Chains A and B, each alone.
Chain A
Amino acid sequence: MRRLPLTPVTASHRSAPSIHKHGSSMASNISGSSSSSDRQRVAQHRLRVIAGHLQRSAESDSVIQAAECKASVSESVAADSETRTVPRRRQEIMKWNGWGYSDSRFLFNKKGQAEFTGKRYRLSGLIIPGLKDWFEGTFGANLQHKSPATPILNSNATHPPNLNKAFVEELKSTGVPFSHDTEDRVFRAHGHCLHEIFALREGKVGRVPDMVVWPNCHNDVVKIVELATKHDVCLIPYGGGTSVSSALECPPEETRSIVSLDTSQMNRILWIDEKNLTAHMEAGIIGQDLERLLNEIGYCTGHEPDSMEFSSLGGWVATRASGMKKNIYGNIEDLVVHIKMVTPQGVIEKGCVGPRMSTGPDIHHFILGSEGTLGVVTEVTMKIRPMPEYQKYGSVVFPNFEQGVACLREVARQRCAPASIRLMDNEQFKFGHALKPQVSSLFTSFVDGLKKFYITKFKGFDPNHLCVATLLFEGDREKVLQHEKQVYDIAAKFGGLAAGEDNGQRGYMLTFVIAYLRDLGMDYYVIGESFETSVPWDRVLDICRNVKARIIHECKEKGVQFPPLSTCRVTQTYDAGACIYFYFAFNYRGLSDPVHVYEQVEHAAREEILANGGSLSHHHGVGTLRKEWMRETISSVGMGMLKSVKDFVDPKNIFGNRNLL
């Protein structure tokens, strides 16, 4: 493979332990670092940061160049085309009918042991001994009962492209690359909702875009949108394709030619402003590339949504994304300084980059969360920060979920939340446990056993009630250690016991592999999904209990033969509430229409969330999946306001994905 899209690109990265443990938990290079001593790590770390700073000041003159389009760029901080992660033909490196990279997947080997293939992740190449028992025990699944996916996409499964000839002709003259190859089209017809992936695995494809265009810069987008408006073509912007709200599905009732506008080639950092600590990027850049490129010069944005390996900056803006380290860096709306968006009415942007303005309602807030209904976000100016000098994971075990939530609430009250703090419930704790890779040394397993003994026997924690919070601290070393102590002191008041860095780190790793795990489940009759909400503090316990119980009851009622996995975690803390993630999966053997059952249960769960004071979405967005609840969420007048904006900006409904409204 020519463009190997490994996360750390350069050789020097491989040898230097990454300071960015979280990011690197996705990547293979770190596997050796846990053996290097703490001190050594920190020292190397510092060196690197300092090197970065030095390098940067030397280069700063030549580096910062605003660029108009690819053709005119000679040398910039941007990833050149050879190192970018996302090729035009995504299917070359990514699964067409599952999550993530083609080379990385879970499987049960001939011995019945679970292993994770590939070389990209910490878990890659490792055996996970506990997974089989957990999997079979939790779902009543059986390794003998397989439900394999259709291996190859049948090109007859799609309708022939419905091309708008005049549009295609004029597009050709602009030189913007495009394709109506079946694979390209199918790849952009879906996000990662369960029903979308399930259908692909069965080789079923619905309405797909009629062609795909790859603009290289803002001006390309302006041309495409102009042509689309002129010829009445439907445009659906496509960033990372990680949507979980049916936001990328082509409306079946759409009769016009549908063009998927893939922003992946607009992936450069155009300039960096160190005086104001901002960076200006093309909106197609994906999270891991953005962080990696900034890290190389000692900066970061700190925006790390769980999908950051694949999701794009434009997608974050369009969905009001949230990153796991928002406690330090903020959510996307806090990070964005300037947005440029191309609409059928022209380009919308502000005339200056003042840090705050009182100039009527903030027009950025029409764009943030507009879910591709108004136009294409082409360029974004974002805040950047110097890379943190020090990072430390941690974890705390609580006797039960109630105590854990009380602790998180207190941490939020004292406004001392670490970069990330997440609380997993008991089921998820067990799940996390099952994902422990095989320990190489007898000593480690002995220590683990000892820890377990201490917590369950000596401290009297009930293994069926205890839950764990995972923590990530970052900043300068001294402050991190101080901060760490403060948080652990609070935790102790709620019966929390520090449970080590490894547990914490594994918790975050889970975030990145869980989507791969779903594909494994689907090989054995298990389907599942996650969904999220945000809720005031006083309702956290009630909503967690009620939604989990609702899922279990609905499954039973809908004829699911085995009790489902129904689990949750608190993933973000705010002054006035928290973000909660629910995971839900079940064994669908014996069901004639498992996806329908799944959708009914998810629907019921969402009803339950809303009845318990939860929001329609914290960061996934509405898409077409949750549209039906928009009116009760924002009131009829609110709907009217959004509608009138849409009517003005896009009267012909060129951006016709029909999300949101």
Chain B
Amino acid sequence: MFSPTQHGESMLKKKDEFEDILEERRNSSDLRYALRSYTPPLYKEVTPATANELKDMVLQSDPLCFVVRQVSTESGRPVDEVQAEASAILEEMAHGLQLSTVRFFAFTLSKVFKTLFRSIHVNEDGIQRLQQAVQENPVVLLPSHRSYLDFLLMSYILYTYDTPLPVIAAGMDFMGMKMVGEMLRKSGAFFIRRSFGGDKLYWAVFSEYVQTLLKKGYAPIEFFLEGTRSRTSKSLTPKLGLLNVVLEPFFKGEVYDVTLLPVSISYERILEESLYARELLGVPKPKESTSGLFKARKVLSEDYGSIHVYFGQPVSVRKLSEGRVKRSQFNLMPRHIPKRPGEDINKVVIELAYQLVQNQQANMVLNPFVLLATLLLQNHHQSLASGQKPGMKLQELTDRALWLRDLSRLFGACLQWPDDRPPAEVVSSSLRLHPGLVTISEGRVQLALHQASSPEEELFNQAVIILSCVSYRNQMLHVFVGPALVASAMNISSSTQKNEIANSHSFLRNMFFHEFILCPGGTNQDLSMSFDLLEKARALDVFSHHVLVPEEGHRTLSFLSSLLDPFLQGYQMVCRFVPDVRKFIVKQILAGRLKYSEVLSSDLQKNALAALSRLGAVQKIKGASQGNLKVNKVMVNWLEDTLGEKEAA
């Protein structure tokens, strides 16, 4: 069961040792490795079936037949035709796992990984827990999603440890890649369209397919709770569709339990790093194509550091929902007739989804560069504001990094800082891994921002670098976001009264609901936990009705509030200029009225707009093209004001 304090859990997990799986690959034959016998443990109630038998089971299943007849009645099309369509959908969707393809990948990926990465660390205890869990109940693997590599990497690791290979829900865009799509299919991927909200038949085929895989115990199912790759390295709010699909068999009593297993994949350097930054700045995402993949070959020549893969604690859905869900709600109707789950189930699923993402976050391994990027960004913005020369002396950076290291450890971060090496060496070797982002000249470290011909071009070039650094800073946001929200709440309420801080805190939490992983309904718990952390860090003395900032607390609090500052200001900008946000933000930055070029990130703008829409400040106009919004001026103005710091009276 989840402990509500991720921090407590991250303490626990530190017992798990990581092992580098590439080490053996460097010392023994890849071919032999790819061809060795593979006999994973199986689910105790597994019904062995071929991929084709599975398809038949799905097509003949009661739920699908029901929807086929329903669609046929509603649309007036003959049943056979609808059935054939269902069959075609399934054909397009279904995986075709073949051990030979897996072996091919085992061989080639060994080569590729050894070139790209220094090491791939895996917590073996986690693998053992997984192997145990796989035998007991159907297992759903939920890795974090930062890179295309994620799912190949997962399968590679599971193959290495003789653990059942998962079938993986993949986006349809992969299918566009000739050959590769089919290769991925044969390595266990199944493909789903990105959006099929209204398509009843598609949904029925899809959910029946996934549930059949699950119920038959055919293989662990793997999908990304975040729905898509996070371009910002910040966890995305969980998408509930697939989660609902895999949980339904439990709520309907069709399986005894479902085991959910969050997996945290941390890259020291993400392959798609600069690609993401461009994408966020509005340069369109290159369509996945095979030739594109080959162009990406130059990627192969660079050093991407290490990967850490942490297999988290298995979560029993049964235990988690015990006493909170009435499974008997499905008693009175045949279970193959689609029925919306009750509020009790929805509530549990949402909470579970957020807890799982938080769990992924808690087990993310942070590298020293994350700290350095954070510090350099703050330094950059401060110098912009004060007009000083940007950059820091190496020694100063090291000192501040050690301070931040201790603070983040105190807050429960999983930090991969080699304590046995001199700090200065850690810092410089970490900087060397990112020559495109930071430069060291004359003993000063600064962001690698270059001049360009036009101010706008320069802004975009620099924004690429900033956003890349931001993606490192973002990796540690989850560690600080709780206390940082309190620090910012103290600023915008300019009060030390707990109730006023709580009000502002709740406002901010609501505002940033799409930006950070904040469990719905957890406001009070978050607040008291954040107060505790701040007290532990000696940043705050908390009394029954008010708080006091001790002398040594200012440094921490100002660090924390400046972490959120870009978001506060960014959201203000969005409020001010909605609906033509982007154009105006460029103007503001060029005019020096906004120092955070990361506000240009489409991700931030999208999240802010989502928040505005949820809070009723803007309304999408139906039928109009994208970006056409109806703005509630009063509301937007109020939000903008509230986000700003109050003038000290």
Contacts and interface: CB of A to CB of B under 8 A. Distances in A.
A611 B327 CA distance: 5
B328 A545 contact: no
Contacts of B326: 611
B330 interface: yes
Interface stretch (A246-254, A429-437, A536-544, A641-649): A536-544
B335 interface: yes
A632 interface: yes
B476 to A, nearest CB: 38
A661 interface: no
B330 to A, nearest CB: 7
B328 A542 contact: no
Interface in B314-347: 326-328, 330-331, 334-335
B328 A546 contact: no
Nearest to A611: B327
Interface string B226-268: 0000000000000000000000000001101100000000000
A118 interface: no
Contacts of B552: none
Contact of B328 (A538, A549, A610): A610
Contacts of B330: 613
Nearest to A632: B328
B45 A545 contact: yes
Contact of A539 (B45, B253, B256, B257): B253
A147 interface: no
A612 B254 CA distance: 9
Contacts of A122: none
B334 A538 contact: yes
Contact of B327 (A545, A612, A632): A612
Contacts of B331: 613
A84 interface: no
B253 A611 contact: yes
A546 B257 CA distance: 9
A550 interface: yes
A613 B335 CA distance: 11
A610 B330 CA distance: 11
Interface centre among B253, B254, B334 (most CB of A within 10 A): B253
Interface residues of B, number: 12
Given A539-B253, A542-B253, A550-B256, A611 B328 contact: yes
Nearest to B326: A611
B335 A546 contact: no
Contact of A538 (B45, B257, B335): B335
A550 B330 CA distance: 19
Interface centre among B45, B254, B326 (most CB of A within 10 A): B254
A542 B250 CA distance: 10
Contacts, number: 26
A545 B136 CA distance: 13
A549 B256 contact: yes
Contacts of B253: 539, 542-543, 546, 611-613
| Interface SS of chain A | helix
Nearest to A550: B256
Nearest to B334: A538
Interface in A582-627: 610-613
A539 B334 CA distance: 9
A613 B326 CA distance: 11
A613 B328 CA distance: 6
Contacts of A538: 334-335
Nearest to B327: A611
Contacts of B254: 542
A526 B574 CA distance: 71
A545 B327 CA distance: 16
A538 B332 CA distance: 12
Nearest to B45: A545
Contacts of B256: 545-546, 549-550
B367 to A, nearest CB: 40
A516 B187 CA distance: 56
A185 B256 CA distance: 45
A538 B254 CA distance: 10
Nearest to B62: A538
A543 B256 CA distance: 9
Interface in A533-560: 538-539, 542-543, 545-546, 549-550
B288 to A, nearest CB: 41
B345 to A, nearest CB: 13
A542 to B, nearest CB: 5
A581 to B, nearest CB: 19
A632 B326 CA distance: 11
A550 B256 CA distance: 8
A538 B257 CA distance: 19
Nearest to A552: B256
B321 to A, nearest CB: 11
A482 B488 CA distance: 84
A466 to B, nearest CB: 16
B483 to A, nearest CB: 37
A90 to B, nearest CB: 41
A546 B253 CA distance: 7
A549 to B, nearest CB: 4
A546 B335 CA distance: 16
Nearest to B325: A611
A543 B328 CA distance: 12
Nearest to A539: B253
Interface in B119-165: none
B534 to A, nearest CB: 38
Contacts of A550: 256
Contacts of B327: 611-612
Interface string B19-55: 0000000000000000000000000010000000000
26 contacts: A538-B334, A538-B335, A539-B253, A539-B335, A542-B253, A542-B254, A543-B253, A545-B45, A545-B256, A546-B253, A546-B256, A549-B256, A549-B257, A550-B256, A610-B328, A611-B253, A611-B326, A611-B327, A611-B328, A612-B253, A612-B327, A613-B253, A613-B328, A613-B330, A613-B331, A632-B328
Interface of B: 45, 253-254, 256-257, 326-328, 330-331, 334-335
6 tightest CB-CB pairs across the interface, nearest first? A611-B327, A612-B253, A613-B331, A549-B256, A542-B253, A546-B256
Given A539-B335, A613-B253, A613-B328, 13 more contacts: A538-B334, A538-B335, A542-B253, A542-B254, A546-B253, A549-B256, A549-B257, A550-B256, A611-B326, A611-B327, A612-B253, A612-B327, A613-B331
